[in-house]
Amino acid sequence: MSLMLTAPGPRRGATKRRQPGRRRRVPGGARIDRWLDRLVDIAVIVALVVGGVALLLTLLSLSRG
C-alpha cells in the first residue's frame, strides 16, 4: 500500500505549450513588408555608422586644434 495519497482518475501533467508551427506561405504583400523591414534595418545601421564616424572625426579635429 502506498503512503502517498493520489487523486482518483487519470494523471494530469503540466500544461503543454503549443509548439510554434512552421511559417505558412504568405501572400505577396507580406513579402514586400519583409523586404521593407530589412531595408529599414540596413538604413538604420548605415545611419548609425555614418553618425559614429562623423562624431569620431569631429572629436579628433577638436583635439588637434
End-to-end C-alpha distance for the chain, whole angstroms: 90
**What's the CA gap between 23 and 27, in Å, rounded?**
12
pLDDT, tens digit, 9 for 90 and up, residues 7-63? 676 766 777 777 776 666 667 778 889 999 999 999 999 999 999 999 999 999 998
- Its pTM stands at 0.54
Instruction: Look at residue 3 in the predicted model and tell me its pLDDT.
Output: 66
Domain locations along the chain: 29-65
Predicted confidence band of residue 2 (pLDDT cuts 50, 70, 90): low
Q: What's the CA gap between 48 and 36, in Å, rounded?
A: 18
- What pLDDT, on a 0 to 100 scale, did the predictor assign at position 64? 86
